[in-house]
Structure 1
Amino acid sequence: MKWTGLNELREKYLSFFESKGHLRLPSFSLVPKDDNSLLLINSGMAPMKKYFTGEVTPPRKRVTTCQKCIRTPDIERVGITARHGTFFEMLGNFSFGDYFKHEATAWAWEFCTKVLEMPVDRLWVTIYTDDDEAYEIWTKEVGVAPAHIVRMGKEDNFWEHGSGPCGPCSEIYFDRGEQYGCGSPTCGVGCDCDRFVEFWNVVFSQFNSDGKGNYPPMEHPNIDTGMGLERLACIMQNVDNLFLVDTVQNIMKHICRIADVKYGDDPKKDISLRVITDHIRSTTFMIGDGVMPSNEGRGYVLRRLLRRAARHGRLLGIRRTFLSEVANTVIDENKNAYPELDEKRAMILKLINVEEESFAKTIDQGLQLLNTYIENAKSKVFSGADAFRLSDTYGFPIDLTKEIVAERGMTVDEEEFKRLMLEQRERARAARKNAGADAWEGENDILEGVPETEFLGYGQFETTAKVTAIVRDGERVESATAGDEIVLVLDKTTFYAESGGQIGDTGTIESGDAILEIKDTTKNHAKNYLHHAVVSAGEVRVGEEVKVSVNKEKRLAIMRNHTAAHLLQASLRKALGDHVEQAGQLVNEKHVRFDFTHFSALTKEELLKVEALVNQAILSGIPVECREMEIEEAKKLGAMALFGEKYGKIVRVVSAGDFSKEFCGGTHIDNTAKIGLFKIVSESSVAAGVRRIEGVTGTGVLSLLNSTLQEIHEAAAALKLNNPSELVQRAGQLTAELKEKDKTIEALNAKLAAIRMDSLLAGAKDVNGVKLVTAVIPGAQPDALRAMCDKARDFSPNMVAVLAGTHDGKANIAACVAKEALAKGANAGQIVRQVAQLAGGNGGGRPDSAMAGAKDLAKLDEALAQAEKIVANMIH
């Protein structure tokens, strides 16, 4: 049996089954498509379920794949053992109503014994206890020795998940040798020891379970196989676990070089090496498939894996960001099989680095606080309130808290933590509630029996309608009069109800002598459009016919901005790449606010390019078409769906020629030219990996232009310039003058500090044989404090100085220790930290020089007064 690399094994398998008439498909994305039952793809057959059920016709009846998979139930176990991992590749060959047991078994055996040249005497086959047909095929057709066939029960050798296709299976085992056995006389296939390794599962899907114990045979049975690529590589490379496989080892060796450690030397460090190796494989592939860090769903899985890997880097002594460097190796080891990793390399590396940097800002402070909580704990149960505080204030994940306290033999009070999290969500929900759709979620009972409202606003601004309900002060009423604030429900309307990021319409509704001013429009789950109104005059009654008039000017501005949002998304994808996905938007009459997935701030050039692409589409005068169609037809057209959004069978697609196609229920103009112009006003960060662009269109561009010109003229006047074109030059001159003055001020402050320092040094205290100076110096900034410390060190080799400067409501504390004082035990880093903590701050640094910050100015004098005691305790 020849040693074979993982990448070569993958290619051997896929090529072999291609030779047997199988269509080689690329791995499906880790993000399930049209399958809400899975967070992430976890098996080779998972993305092909609809082929097996017959809902979708497969591209060919014979298919072979190597599928990327993520399984997360055992995240906490990864690293603790060498068996557990979250990422793996699953080899598979599939038959959709074509070949069955005869071919599947023969080809599996041929691949193992002929292609891989596995010794026949070390291979074992298991079958379902009642599957005599499989026994006959394996022994009489394939030629497996009966002594190497093991019958097993339903739990081991019958594949079934609820109702649907199911059936018996055969598994192939490899005997690694007696040295891996448990020594028991009954040791054999199925034993829990490491001797017999199951590596290939061939499922014969021949029944259709109804979930109630009935198994009628399928007219066209299927074959579904699965073989873990890493597990096969372990056998072919004669190694004990996946972390020793060649490609995985190359990743681990990179981590070892960064941490300057060797795998196998220290069991604790080995755990960290395995964690980082596994998690960086998972996260690299997840980001490559478009998963972005977030606090829920698959984005939370990604963030959790990255943070766990980063924390184990700290345990290895790595004090800088490093995960993106290792991700480079992951990509290099896998790019031939998964070219999308190489194509998205820059995005993957940048996003990992951004997320690691973000976590690094909080992890040290969080760890310090966590350790304090652990030291002060009075039982083996860690406080849920403390866990919540770490999560809420420091962004410290509960999973990480649980893992760290478990290392100290403790558990977290998760019930208390969950209760506090729920209370926080309820508070946030209450704060968000307004007179909009959320506030009406529970009002369906009030409007029970009221038919849904017909929306006519896509094609018109006015209509006549009948009042079907009036709600005032939370109750149904028959009429309303001047001064009443009400919610009006009509049988039909042209008012758009807030949804999809587009705000609700405003306007007027009139009936006889009644005039109603509509302040907002929302809708409930029963599709009643809720017109939030103030009765300005007269009386309105249920059953009356009314005239409905949308504020046309405002709606047109909203429509321009909404269509511009579509053009913006298309332009962002063209300029930045297909990783851009909508992450939220707000469209009103003033501007468009568009949130999107991207890993870094846009450069000036990128912003100009995006803006130019949008305006090019506007000036091209592209007709905008809105059509309803079946969702499958929309997908064939290439229409973009909102990421994570659930859609019905019929969807509405808004198209601006070939430039932009999106699922959308909002209102739009009929030609891009009517947008006028588009101008980006700002670009900013919303969260890690999510950016925000705000822009204006049409009259909004004119308003921006006018206000900008006005500001330029006012600035020129303030600088006494007759010609605004001289503004830039004059601003440059002023900046240079101010810098020069700042230098002069700094020099004067340094002289004053030196004078002040002379008097302080003259009054230095003797503390156990060292000289100590402490002082609060109003207005002194960090540079001045450092200069004063330098002077103190030069004054005497036996000097310790602790100086605080206050500026803009904050305090900075500097400490220095001269050479002889240092030898006697004084430590500037420890001194400044202890003093700062007494004033609500923190900090540290080298033994001879350190800085800290403090928040509570009222305690600053008291904190400095304790410096004498702190220093005295250090001197020996």
Structure 2
Amino acid sequence: MKWMGLNELREKYLSFFEKKGHLRLKSFPLVPQGDNSLLLINSGMAPMKKWFLGQETPPKNRVTTCQKCIRTPDIENVGKTARHGTFFEMLGNFSFGDYFKEEATEWAWEFVTKELELPIDRIWVSIYEDDDEAFEIWTKRRGVSPDHIVRFGKEDNFWEIGSGPCGPCSELYFDRGVEKGCGKPDCKVGCECDRFVEFWNLVFSQFNSDGEGNYEPMEHPNIDTGMGLERLACIMQEVDNLFEVDTVQNIMKHISQIAGVTYKENPQTDVSLRVITDHIRSTTFMIADGVIPSNEGRGYVLRRLLRRAARNGKMIGIQKPFLYQVVDTVIKENQPAYPELLENADYIKKIVKAEEENFASTINKGLNLLYDMIDNIDSSMEQRMLSGDQAFKLYDTYGFPLDLIKEVIEEQNIAIDEERFMELMNAQKEAARKNAAANDVAWDENELVFTDDATEFLGYSMYECDATLKHIVMDGKEVETASEGQQVTLVFDVTPFYAESGGQVGDRGVFVYGDNIVNVTDCKKAKSGHFLHSGVVMAGSISHGMNGHLAIDEKRRQAIARNHTAAHLLQKALRDVLGSHVHQAGQLVDDQRVRFDFNHFEPMTPQEIADVEAAVNEQILNALDVNVQEMKIEEAKQLGAMALFGEKYGDVVRVVDASGYSIEFCGGTHVDNTSKLGLFKIISESSAAAGIRRIEATTGTGVLNMIHENHLMIATTCSVLKLTNPHELPSRCKNLMDELKEKDHKIDEMTQKLASYRFEEVLDSALEVNGIQVISASFNGLNTQSLRALGDRVKERTNVVAVFASIAEGKGTMLAVCGKEAVERGAHAGNIVREVSALAGGKGGGRPDSAMAGVNEIFKIDEALAQLPSVVQKFVK
């Protein structure tokens, strides 16, 4: 057989089917677009589901793709076996009511025998047990020997998921040779051994299933095929598994070089190398497609993969962040087919490095505590068990993921009370849900269904208009009238009020009919398209069918429009300064400020903030015209208009164009020229979530108000410090801080000296418990560092157990230390400080020779220390 590289195979397949009249499409993103049923794309046909179901029209009735996929159900097995992986590429050719079995089998056979030149005698075909048509086609028209065709039942060779299109399958297998088999006399296609490898599945979707066992023949049947690219590469390169395929092996070699190890020299090391290799492939592609590490959903999948890879790096001796370096090799090996990897290289590496560094801190803290917990598990138990409460503490307090806890304890044959862990987890989620519900005062449009025409929005060009009152809602029920003082929600036939959407808040204003006035405080939009005007009847009364006048707060709307246009300019400036990876991750625009969330991996530097601010103000001073128009989505994309990642758009979109500087899909309200923003000022830059930064900024009068407030604050501060020149303020503040630090330092020195004077008295007051000296004392004002210093001095006496306490800045701390001889006789500082601190409402633990605890009820410290001898007596024999 001719050796072929993975990249060569991908191109050969796609080019082959292009010549057969197929439209070659780029791989769809790993994040499903407009499909909430999947967390991540897990098969070649998944992104095309709506085309197969007839819900949308495909761009052509013949399509071919190489689709990147992620599957994580078997993540625990990745690394432990050579065949499991989370990332793979799926080659596919698809027909939407065009060709069927004849062409699908003809081209499949031509590709594997002519293009790949696979030996015909080593190719086997499976068909559905009742599909005589497929048997006839394969044998009579493709020339496959009948003794190389096997029939399988519905479980193996009939594709069906609930109701909808379904049908029989036909699979191609490659015989890797007797030496790869299990050695059994009956070894054949379908055996679980490594001899016969299934590499291409042809699905003949020819029925519509009602999900209850009834199958109706389709008028226009479909073809859906899938061939694993890595699996095909294994065959063509005559290697045993995906980790030995050329592009994947090159990634592993880079990891091996960093670790200073060699693949296939140590079975345990090989496990870690496979884990890291697979996971860094997955994470690189996921980040390129917009996924960022988080604690839920696909972000959690990414975080889990990264952390599992990082931990396996530690297991093979890599102590520093290294995965971000391997990203370069992943990109190099895959960028011919996926140029977006190279375009986002810096972003991907920085996300990976930031997560590695964060995890390094987490894992060190968490592992130390976990090992302490393991040390305290009763070794006499038939099944050693880590409690669910302990596991939840690691997760909730230290961010230590459950799957990592399980991996660590499984290595030491310890089980976990996962049922209790999930009980605590669900209780926390329920509490959070109730808290969110208690604070959710938003309109629930599902309470009422309006069957008449939706509200017509006139607010892009009008600030006021006449309108007919069609619905009055009070307390979730529709009523005919409402009178002064009552809270209402009103629906009109037309409105100038912008309904909250796309991060822009709803308008405020009034509804007037003669002397009858309603103060409108908010506006939202129901799914039915009806605008819901919330407010209070301020004077008179209103009734259904009333024709009145609606007017928004024009000044407020203009301020909102300024801030919304600023948000567009801000995104463009951020991309120019920080990189093209920046995308909006949420925003809130009101009349006071704009809050803009965006993908970024680290805090912005003061210089970057200044550069972004200057870039926006430059475009304000350039007085760019802002044009808004509706156009077909393809036309908008050709203009380079930016869209929200994962957002579903219709065929016609609204595009806001600031003279080519910023072009975005947007349904909000804007100024017609950037000069109307006046000025732009960034108020703050902070973290909104993992991998998400937040900028708050303001424009126009908001900037003037901010300048006024700052001047007032500076003047007040100067007055307090008795300064006449504001320019002296920085140096005066620095001098004050230096003076305070010096005084704090002197106070610490004096406190330590006083503690040292008392230390000799404390040693003289030692009690003896079972031949061990027991010491306790309380010191005021000692910091933890000084407390540990005292503990180290005591530990020099090998037969001592001591607990020292300190109260500093209203917080209590206890330190327990045990000398070497005391530890050998059963004393354990972690257990001792846990019991003693608990008597004063504290919690803590640690190593056998030294441990600390925090104390809540500081007034009980002396009482708790008095119990130390009885606590020690329980441990020391």
Normalising to structure 1: TM-score of the pair? 0.84
Return the match for 1:613 from 612, 615, 618. Answer: 615
Conservation of the 8 A alpha-carbon contact between 1:682 and 1:695? yes
Unaligned runs of at least 5 residues, structure 1: none
Going from structure 1 to structure 2, the CA distance change for 1:853 and 1:263 (only over 3 Å counts) comes to: farther
Q: Deviations over 1:731-785 (max 9, x none)?
A: 2333333333333333323322222223223333345555443222121112322
1:694: Cα distance to partner? 0.4
Counterpart for residue 303 of structure 1: 303
1:823: Cα distance to partner? 7.6
1:591: Cα distance to partner? 0.8
User: What CA distance in whole angstroms lies between the structure 2 residues aligned with 1:665 and 1:244?
Assistant: 51
Q: Provide the secondary structure at the position in 1 that maps to 2:83.
A: coil
Conservation of the 8 A alpha-carbon contact between 1:596 and 1:692? yes
Counterpart for residue 725 of structure 1: 727
Counterpart for residue 192 of structure 2: 192
Counterpart for residue 760 of structure 2: 758
Q: Provide the secondary structure at the position in 1 that maps to 2:31.
A: coil
Q: Deviations over 1:51-84 (max 9, x none)?
A: 87792335x9675x54321123444554565433
Counterpart for residue 776 of structure 2: 774
Q: Deviations over 1:582-637 (max 9, x none)?
A: 22222111111111222211111221222222222222222223333444444444
Conservation of the 8 A alpha-carbon contact between 1:167 and 1:204? yes
Amino acid at match of 1:570: K
Q: Output aligned runs, 1:191-230, within 5 Å.
A: 191-202=191-202, 207=206, 213-215=215-217, 218=220, 225-230=225-230
Amino acid at match of 1:493: T
Q: Deviations over 1:430-467 (max 9, x none)?
A: 22222x32xx434415xx56654332222122222233
Going from structure 1 to structure 2, the CA distance change for 1:837 and 1:197 (only over 3 Å counts) comes to: farther
Conservation of the 8 A alpha-carbon contact between 1:172 and 1:199? yes
Going from structure 1 to structure 2, the CA distance change for 1:22 and 1:649 (only over 3 Å counts) comes to: closer
* Percentage of pairs with the same residue: 57
Note if 1:87 corresponds to 2:91: no
Counterpart for residue 810 of structure 2: 809
Q: Output aligned runs, 1:26-105, within 5 Å.
A: 26-33=26-33, 38-47=38-47, 55-58=57-60, 63=64, 65-79=65-79, 81-92=81-92
1:30: Cα distance to partner? 1.9
Amino acid at match of 2:775: V
Conservation of the 8 A alpha-carbon contact between 1:292 and 1:689? yes
User: What CA distance in whole angstroms lies between the structure 1 residues aligned with 2:22 and 2:537?
Assistant: 71
Q: Output aligned runs, 1:539-554, within 5 Å.
A: 539-554=541-556
Amino acid at match of 2:190: G
Counterpart for residue 287 of structure 2: 287
User: What CA distance in whole angstroms lies between the structure 1 residues aligned with 2:643 and 2:251?
Assistant: 36
1:680: Cα distance to partner? 0.6
Q: Which has the larger displacement, 116-125 or 65-74? A: 116-125
Q: Output aligned runs, 1:431-580, within 5 Å.
A: 431-434=438-441, 436-437=442-443, 440-444=444-448, 448=450, 452-580=454-582
User: What CA distance in whole angstroms lies between the structure 1 residues aligned with 2:801 and 2:875?
Assistant: 12
Conservation of the 8 A alpha-carbon contact between 1:583 and 1:596? yes
Amino acid at match of 1:428: N
Conservation of the 8 A alpha-carbon contact between 1:66 and 1:91? yes
Q: Provide the secondary structure at the position in 1 that maps to 2:434.
A: helix
Q: Provide the secondary structure at the position in 2 that maps to 1:713.
A: helix
Conservation of the 8 A alpha-carbon contact between 1:803 and 1:815? yes
Q: Deviations over 1:539-577 (max 9, x none)?
A: 333333323222221121111111211222222223223
Q: Output aligned runs, 1:88-237, within 5 Å.
A: 88-92=88-92, 112=112, 118-127=118-127, 144-152=144-152, 156-157=156-157, 170-202=170-202, 207=206, 213-215=215-217, 218=220, 225-237=225-237
Conservation of the 8 A alpha-carbon contact between 1:293 and 1:299? yes
Amino acid at match of 2:746: T
Q: Provide the secondary structure at the position in 2 that maps to 1:746.
A: helix
Conservation of the 8 A alpha-carbon contact between 1:4 and 1:233? yes
1:329: Cα distance to partner? 5.1
Going from structure 1 to structure 2, the CA distance change for 1:775 and 1:485 (only over 3 Å counts) comes to: same
Conservation of the 8 A alpha-carbon contact between 1:457 and 1:495? yes
Q: Output aligned runs, 1:314-353, within 5 Å.
A: 323-324=323-324, 327=327, 330-331=330-331, 333-335=333-335, 337-353=337-353
Note if 1:427 corresponds to 2:431: no
Q: Provide the secondary structure at the position in 1 that maps to 2:215.
A: coil
User: What CA distance in whole angstroms lies between the structure 2 residues aligned with 1:761 and 1:147?
Assistant: 91
Amino acid at match of 1:462: E
Conservation of the 8 A alpha-carbon contact between 2:383 and 2:415? no
Q: Provide the secondary structure at the position in 2 that maps to 1:412.
A: helix
Q: Deviations over 1:400-426 (max 9, x none)?
A: 788889973876379967974774364
Normalising to structure 2: TM-score of the pair? 0.84
User: What CA distance in whole angstroms lies between the structure 1 residues aligned with 2:111 and 2:451?
Assistant: 66
User: What CA distance in whole angstroms lies between the structure 1 residues aligned with 2:803 and 2:424?
Assistant: 41
User: What CA distance in whole angstroms lies between the structure 1 residues aligned with 2:672 and 2:9?
Assistant: 55
1:237: Cα distance to partner? 4.8
User: What CA distance in whole angstroms lies between the structure 2 residues aligned with 1:711 and 1:38?
Assistant: 52
Amino acid at match of 1:87: F
Conservation of the 8 A alpha-carbon contact between 1:200 and 1:228? yes
Counterpart for residue 740 of structure 1: 742
Q: Deviations over 1:824-857 (max 9, x none)?
A: 7766667656655665333536x76655544453
Q: Deviations over 1:313-369 (max 9, x none)?
A: 688898876654555554455445544334433322332344455566385599579
Note if 1:676 corresponds to 2:678: yes
Going from structure 1 to structure 2, the CA distance change for 1:859 and 1:306 (only over 3 Å counts) comes to: farther
User: What CA distance in whole angstroms lies between the structure 2 residues aligned with 1:490 and 1:51?
Assistant: 38
Going from structure 1 to structure 2, the CA distance change for 1:798 and 1:184 (only over 3 Å counts) comes to: closer
Conservation of the 8 A alpha-carbon contact between 1:654 and 1:662? yes
Going from structure 1 to structure 2, the CA distance change for 1:415 and 1:857 (only over 3 Å counts) comes to: closer
Q: Provide the secondary structure at the position in 1 that maps to 2:577.
A: helix
Q: Provide the secondary structure at the position in 2 that maps to 1:693.
A: strand
Conservation of the 8 A alpha-carbon contact between 2:374 and 2:386? no
Q: Provide the secondary structure at the position in 2 that maps to 1:560.
A: helix
Q: Output aligned runs, 1:829-868, within 5 Å.
A: 840-844=842-846, 851-858=852-859, 860-865=861-866, 867-868=868-869
Going from structure 1 to structure 2, the CA distance change for 1:375 and 1:74 (only over 3 Å counts) comes to: farther
Conservation of the 8 A alpha-carbon contact between 1:494 and 1:550? yes
Q: Which has the larger displacement, 674-683 or 135-144? A: 135-144
User: What CA distance in whole angstroms lies between the structure 2 residues aligned with 1:373 and 1:662?
Assistant: 59
Counterpart for residue 665 of structure 1: 667
Q: Which has the larger displacement, 192-201 or 91-100? A: 91-100
User: What CA distance in whole angstroms lies between the structure 1 residues aligned with 2:436 and 2:166?
Assistant: 44
How many residues matched?
864
1:199: Cα distance to partner? 1.6
Q: Deviations over 1:678-729 (max 9, x none)?
A: 1110011111111111001000000111111221222222222221122223
Unaligned runs of at least 5 residues, structure 2: none
Q: Output aligned runs, 1:352-431, within 5 Å.
A: 352-356=352-356, 358=358, 361=362, 363-364=366-367, 408=415, 412=419, 420=427, 423-424=430-431, 426-431=433-438
Conservation of the 8 A alpha-carbon contact between 2:388 and 2:418? no
Going from structure 1 to structure 2, the CA distance change for 1:490 and 1:843 (only over 3 Å counts) comes to: same
